[in-house]
Amino acid sequence: MARGILWIVLTVCALLLAGCSSHPPSAAQFMNARNGINFVAGGAVRVGDLDNRKIPGRDDESVSYEEGYWNTDLALSFAFPYAVVALDLEDYTYRTIMGGRSQYFGVQGWYGFAADDRGDDVSSRMRHMGGVMFVEQYPVSENFKVGISEHISRNSYRVIDDPGCCTFNKLYPEVYSEFGAGAYVVYKGFSAEFRYGREIGAPNNRFYFQLNYAFFLKEWNYSK
Protein backbone atom coordinates (compact mmCIF):
# COMPACT_ATOMS: atom_id res chain seq x y z
CA MET A 1 0.00 0.00 0.00
CA ALA A 2 2.74 2.45 1.01
CA ARG A 3 4.73 1.62 -2.13
CA GLY A 4 1.67 2.26 -4.29
CA ILE A 5 1.13 5.67 -2.71
CA LEU A 6 4.83 6.50 -3.22
CA TRP A 7 4.60 5.69 -6.92
CA ILE A 8 1.56 7.94 -7.27
CA VAL A 9 3.38 10.81 -5.57
CA LEU A 10 6.51 10.34 -7.72
CA THR A 11 4.46 10.22 -10.90
CA VAL A 12 2.66 13.41 -9.95
CA CYS A 13 5.95 15.18 -9.26
CA ALA A 14 7.42 14.02 -12.57
CA LEU A 15 4.47 15.56 -14.40
CA LEU A 16 4.60 18.76 -12.39
CA LEU A 17 5.84 21.02 -15.18
CA ALA A 18 4.12 19.24 -18.05
CA GLY A 19 0.68 20.79 -17.79
CA CYS A 20 -0.90 24.20 -17.70
CA SER A 21 -4.64 23.71 -17.25
CA SER A 22 -5.94 24.51 -13.79
CA HIS A 23 -9.48 25.07 -12.49
CA PRO A 24 -11.12 24.90 -9.03
CA PRO A 25 -11.24 21.38 -7.51
CA SER A 26 -14.38 19.56 -6.41
CA ALA A 27 -16.24 20.94 -3.41
CA ALA A 28 -18.31 17.77 -3.09
CA GLN A 29 -15.39 15.37 -2.76
CA PHE A 30 -13.56 17.67 -0.36
CA MET A 31 -16.55 17.52 1.99
CA ASN A 32 -17.19 13.82 1.27
CA ALA A 33 -13.71 12.57 2.21
CA ARG A 34 -13.84 10.00 5.00
CA ASN A 35 -11.34 9.99 7.82
CA GLY A 36 -8.41 8.08 6.34
CA ILE A 37 -7.04 7.68 2.81
CA ASN A 38 -9.30 8.42 -0.17
CA PHE A 39 -8.73 8.21 -3.91
CA VAL A 40 -11.04 10.22 -6.19
CA ALA A 41 -11.34 9.80 -9.97
CA GLY A 42 -13.52 11.82 -12.30
CA GLY A 43 -13.60 14.75 -14.64
CA ALA A 44 -15.35 17.90 -15.76
CA VAL A 45 -16.82 19.36 -18.92
CA ARG A 46 -16.99 23.11 -19.61
CA VAL A 47 -18.99 25.39 -21.85
CA GLY A 48 -19.05 29.15 -22.20
CA ASP A 49 -16.35 31.58 -23.26
CA LEU A 50 -13.47 29.18 -23.98
CA ASP A 51 -10.35 29.45 -26.16
CA ASN A 52 -10.90 33.11 -26.91
CA ARG A 53 -7.52 34.69 -26.17
CA LYS A 54 -5.61 36.69 -28.77
CA ILE A 55 -1.90 37.48 -28.88
CA PRO A 56 -1.12 41.09 -29.92
CA GLY A 57 -0.13 41.15 -33.58
CA ARG A 58 -1.03 37.50 -34.08
CA ASP A 59 -4.42 36.53 -35.48
CA ASP A 60 -3.75 33.32 -37.36
CA GLU A 61 -3.91 29.56 -36.97
CA SER A 62 -0.36 29.29 -35.60
CA VAL A 63 -1.66 29.94 -32.09
CA SER A 64 -3.81 27.25 -30.47
CA TYR A 65 -5.55 27.31 -27.09
CA GLU A 66 -6.05 24.17 -25.05
CA GLU A 67 -8.32 25.05 -22.17
CA GLY A 68 -10.57 22.53 -23.87
CA TYR A 69 -14.05 21.40 -23.12
CA TRP A 70 -13.21 18.61 -20.67
CA ASN A 71 -10.49 17.34 -18.34
CA THR A 72 -9.75 14.41 -16.07
CA ASP A 73 -9.13 14.79 -12.35
CA LEU A 74 -7.39 12.43 -9.90
CA ALA A 75 -6.87 13.12 -6.22
CA LEU A 76 -5.29 11.31 -3.29
CA SER A 77 -6.49 12.77 -0.01
CA PHE A 78 -5.69 12.23 3.65
CA ALA A 79 -8.67 13.21 5.79
CA PHE A 80 -8.80 13.82 9.53
CA PRO A 81 -11.80 14.72 11.73
CA TYR A 82 -11.60 18.42 10.81
CA ALA A 83 -8.91 18.69 8.12
CA VAL A 84 -8.11 17.38 4.64
CA VAL A 85 -4.77 17.35 2.77
CA ALA A 86 -4.72 16.21 -0.86
CA LEU A 87 -2.48 15.82 -3.89
CA ASP A 88 -4.49 16.51 -7.03
CA LEU A 89 -3.76 15.98 -10.73
CA GLU A 90 -5.96 17.83 -13.24
CA ASP A 91 -4.93 16.39 -16.61
CA TYR A 92 -1.15 16.89 -16.12
CA THR A 93 -1.20 19.81 -13.72
CA TYR A 94 -0.30 19.09 -10.11
CA ARG A 95 -1.65 21.04 -7.17
CA THR A 96 -1.89 20.65 -3.41
CA ILE A 97 -5.16 21.10 -1.52
CA MET A 98 -5.55 21.84 2.17
CA GLY A 99 -8.55 22.81 4.24
CA GLY A 100 -10.80 22.35 7.20
CA ARG A 101 -14.35 21.08 7.30
CA SER A 102 -17.14 20.00 9.61
CA GLN A 103 -20.38 18.23 8.81
CA TYR A 104 -21.98 21.48 7.64
CA PHE A 105 -19.19 23.90 6.64
CA GLY A 106 -15.81 23.76 4.97
CA VAL A 107 -13.07 25.89 3.44
CA GLN A 108 -10.39 24.59 1.10
CA GLY A 109 -7.43 26.28 -0.54
CA TRP A 110 -5.21 25.00 -3.36
CA TYR A 111 -1.95 25.93 -5.05
CA GLY A 112 -0.09 24.83 -8.18
CA PHE A 113 2.30 26.20 -10.77
CA ALA A 114 3.41 25.60 -14.34
CA ALA A 115 6.40 26.53 -16.50
CA ASP A 116 6.31 29.38 -19.04
CA ASP A 117 9.12 29.22 -21.61
CA ARG A 118 8.82 32.92 -22.50
CA GLY A 119 10.72 34.09 -19.42
CA ASP A 120 14.43 34.91 -19.18
CA ASP A 121 15.06 33.38 -15.74
CA VAL A 122 13.54 30.85 -13.36
CA SER A 123 11.30 33.30 -11.51
CA SER A 124 9.83 34.76 -14.70
CA ARG A 125 9.22 31.28 -16.14
CA MET A 126 6.77 30.25 -13.43
CA ARG A 127 3.03 30.91 -13.41
CA HIS A 128 1.19 30.42 -10.15
CA MET A 129 -2.39 29.17 -9.81
CA GLY A 130 -4.58 28.67 -6.78
CA GLY A 131 -7.64 29.82 -4.93
CA VAL A 132 -9.95 29.46 -1.97
CA MET A 133 -13.45 27.95 -1.75
CA PHE A 134 -16.14 28.10 0.94
CA VAL A 135 -18.63 25.24 1.18
CA GLU A 136 -21.97 24.91 2.99
CA GLN A 137 -23.44 21.41 3.20
CA TYR A 138 -26.67 19.83 4.38
CA PRO A 139 -26.51 16.08 5.14
CA VAL A 140 -29.96 14.78 4.20
CA SER A 141 -28.96 11.32 5.41
CA GLU A 142 -25.79 9.39 6.15
CA ASN A 143 -25.26 8.64 2.45
CA PHE A 144 -27.03 11.53 0.70
CA LYS A 145 -25.82 15.13 0.99
CA VAL A 146 -26.37 18.41 -0.85
CA GLY A 147 -24.28 21.56 -0.75
CA ILE A 148 -23.32 24.88 -2.30
CA SER A 149 -19.94 26.54 -2.77
CA GLU A 150 -18.38 29.92 -3.49
CA HIS A 151 -14.85 30.41 -4.84
CA ILE A 152 -12.31 32.92 -6.03
CA SER A 153 -9.37 31.53 -7.97
CA ARG A 154 -6.51 32.10 -10.37
CA ASN A 155 -6.96 29.60 -13.20
CA SER A 156 -4.94 28.77 -16.30
CA TYR A 157 -4.97 26.96 -19.62
CA ARG A 158 -2.29 26.00 -22.11
CA VAL A 159 -1.32 28.00 -25.20
CA ILE A 160 0.84 26.68 -28.04
CA ASP A 161 2.42 29.36 -30.23
CA ASP A 162 4.01 28.07 -33.45
CA PRO A 163 6.13 30.93 -34.87
CA GLY A 164 6.77 29.09 -38.13
CA CYS A 165 9.43 27.08 -39.91
CA CYS A 166 12.70 26.21 -38.17
CA THR A 167 11.64 27.70 -34.83
CA PHE A 168 10.61 25.86 -31.68
CA ASN A 169 7.00 26.19 -30.54
CA LYS A 170 6.39 28.28 -27.45
CA LEU A 171 4.37 26.52 -24.77
CA TYR A 172 3.01 28.54 -21.89
CA PRO A 173 0.05 28.89 -19.53
CA GLU A 174 -2.40 31.74 -19.90
CA VAL A 175 -3.72 32.77 -16.49
CA TYR A 176 -6.91 34.55 -15.48
CA SER A 177 -8.79 35.28 -12.26
CA GLU A 178 -12.31 34.05 -11.61
CA PHE A 179 -15.05 34.13 -9.00
CA GLY A 180 -18.09 31.90 -8.94
CA ALA A 181 -20.50 29.62 -7.14
CA GLY A 182 -21.78 26.07 -7.44
CA ALA A 183 -24.07 23.34 -6.11
CA TYR A 184 -23.62 19.59 -5.70
CA VAL A 185 -25.20 16.32 -4.62
CA VAL A 186 -23.40 13.34 -3.08
CA TYR A 187 -24.57 9.74 -2.76
CA LYS A 188 -22.06 7.51 -1.00
CA GLY A 189 -18.85 7.83 -3.10
CA PHE A 190 -20.51 9.40 -6.14
CA SER A 191 -20.94 13.15 -6.65
CA ALA A 192 -22.37 15.42 -9.34
CA GLU A 193 -21.48 19.09 -9.26
CA PHE A 194 -22.40 22.21 -11.23
CA ARG A 195 -20.36 25.42 -11.03
CA TYR A 196 -20.49 28.85 -12.61
CA GLY A 197 -17.38 31.01 -13.02
CA ARG A 198 -17.11 34.67 -14.05
CA GLU A 199 -13.76 35.96 -15.21
CA ILE A 200 -12.49 39.00 -13.33
CA GLY A 201 -11.64 41.87 -15.68
CA ALA A 202 -13.29 40.36 -18.77
CA PRO A 203 -16.91 39.54 -19.72
CA ASN A 204 -16.26 35.78 -19.96
CA ASN A 205 -18.48 33.16 -18.34
CA ARG A 206 -17.74 29.48 -17.81
CA PHE A 207 -20.08 26.67 -16.77
CA TYR A 208 -18.63 23.49 -15.27
CA PHE A 209 -20.24 20.09 -14.74
CA GLN A 210 -18.25 17.56 -12.70
CA LEU A 211 -18.71 13.87 -11.99
CA ASN A 212 -16.47 12.14 -9.45
CA TYR A 213 -16.31 8.85 -7.59
CA ALA A 214 -14.40 8.26 -4.35
CA PHE A 215 -12.67 5.04 -3.36
CA PHE A 216 -12.26 4.87 0.40
CA LEU A 217 -8.96 3.03 0.63
CA LYS A 218 -8.41 3.07 4.38
CA GLU A 219 -10.51 4.44 7.21
CA TRP A 220 -9.10 5.64 10.50
CA ASN A 221 -11.15 5.20 13.66
CA TYR A 222 -10.83 8.16 16.03
CA SER A 223 -13.55 7.05 18.44
CA LYS A 224 -11.20 4.97 20.59
pLDDT for 93: 81
pLDDT tens string, the chain, 224 residues long: the values are 555 544 444 444 444 444 567 899 999 999 999 999 999 999 999 888 875 555 555 555 555 565 668 889 999 999 999 999 999 998 878 899 999 999 999 999 999 887 776 666 655 667 789 999 999 999 999 999 999 999 999 998 877 665 555 545 566 778 889 999 999 999 999 999 999 999 998 888 999 999 999 999 998 886 65
pLDDT for 21: 76
pLDDT for 48: 85
Segments of 62-161 assigned E as strands: 63-65, 70-79, 83-90, 93-101, 105-115, 126-139, 144-161
Q: What is the pTM of this model?
A: 0.82
The angle formed by the CA atoms of residues 119, 120 and 126, to the nearest 5 degrees, is: 40
- Report phi then psi at 32, rounded to 5: -85, -10
pLDDT for 26: 96
pLDDT for 54: 55
pLDDT for 171: 67
Q: Give the span between the Cα atoms of 11 and 220, in whole angstroms.
A: 26
Going from the C-alpha of 36 to that of each of 79, 113, 195, the distances in angstroms are 5, 27, 27
